[in-house]
A and B are shown apart, each in its own frame.
Chain A
Amino acid sequence: MSTPNEPQNPYGSGEPQQPQDPSGSPQYPSAPPPYPQGPSAPTPYPGAPQYPGAAGTPQYPAAAPYGSAPGGYGQPGGGYGVAYPKNSLAVWSLVLGIVSFVIGCGLFTGIPAVIVGNNAKKAVARGEANNGGMATAGIILGWIAIVLSVLTAILFAVLFSNADFRDMMNESYDTNY
């Protein structure tokens, strides 16, 4: 624990993406248990981020998944926006998922909701975001919208093969202008 930078260097070059996830469980860092003694036993833990002194190490946003990190490990609490640079992804996923249910044809926001949500999940795994739950919500909403849209499309394909239904549709259009 000599200088703040020292423990970081071994990981800065080697494995910048998942610096503190040796266990291979990316999603939900239930890892905090190893850390409580962190400050007193610094080097054995790859999770070097408890050294807030090295503030200029953006490749370690991973420090953030530990919700209690600001208090427990001396992380400056104000750095949320910096600590989770990819949190906006999950927000986009959720908003797109919600919009899928506002518009009649949810397929076209549902698909992006799922894609962006999956990217958000990856960002959470990398420690660049901490709102995995929001991403999950977006992904689920997106999938529901996709399935509903496909079912609706099939339904319409069947209905519109019926001439009477087409006539009814024409009338309903005309009366609504």
Chain B
Amino acid sequence: MATVDDGPQDLPTGPLPSDAPASDGAGRRASLTAPLVTGGVVALATVLLAVRDPHVAGSYGGCPSFLLLGVWCPACGGLRATHDLAQGDLAGAWSMNPLWVLAVPLVIALWVRWLARARAGRSLGSPPAWVAWVFGGVVVAFGILRNVPALAPWLAP
């Protein structure tokens, strides 16, 4: 179950705001700052999650979706999965939030690409619109499927 301050959850979308123009020489340093700061914040959050176990109930608050509606949202288990990944427990992470486990390599790749393009003085650019729709569709579908009782053993946290 994801919690209120679900730090790593911003990873998949973190690189996107970088679409701001990053062209002229003056903005070059600034454009490098954004990915580095983002990476630093995420790294710190990951260390915090690795040390302070989110498996302990309420350690990071609670998921409003689960508390109020009793359903697992697509991000539920994201903190615990991140904790497990940081501890090298891939199976544990997978059992918490498989979608997030699949997304993490993609997120890291996006961040590296963001950094590389910022170094070259270019903006990240925005992925095509159909990627956005697919992203939204996958998230929603995952949220629905993990609440289907028959699938919950595999998809729910």
Q: Check A111 against B127 for contact (C-beta < 8 Å).
A: no
Cβ-defined partner of A99 (8 Å) among B57, B64, B128, B139: B139
Interface string of B57-80 (1 = CB under 8 A from A): 110011111100000011110000
Complex CA–CA separation, A94 to B126 (angstroms): 14
| Set of chain B residues within 8 Å of A105, measured between Cβ atoms | 2-6, 9, 63-64, 73, 75
**A157 and chain B: residue at smallest CB distance:** B61
Complex CA–CA separation, A4 to B63 (angstroms): 60
Q: Number of B residues whose C-beta is below 8 Å from A?
A: 39
Complex CA–CA separation, A99 to B2 (angstroms): 14
**A91-B133, A112-B14, A119-B19 known; A104+B57 contact, CB < 8 A:** no
Cβ-defined partner of A109 (8 Å) among B13, B58, B66: B13
Q: Number of A residues whose C-beta is below 8 Å from B?
A: 36
Does B17 belong to the interface (CB within 8 Å)? yes
Given A99-B135, A119-B19, 10 additional A-B pairs, CB 8 A: A86-B126, A88-B128, A95-B133, A103-B74, A105-B6, A111-B10, A156-B61, A156-B64, A169-B58, A172-B57
Q: List 27 A-B contacts (CB under 8 A).
A: A87-B129, A89-B19, A89-B126, A96-B132, A99-B140, A102-B139, A103-B65, A103-B143, A104-B66, A105-B2, A105-B4, A105-B5, A105-B64, A105-B75, A108-B6, A112-B10, A112-B13, A116-B16, A116-B126, A119-B17, A149-B4, A152-B4, A152-B64, A160-B58, A160-B61, A172-B57, A173-B1
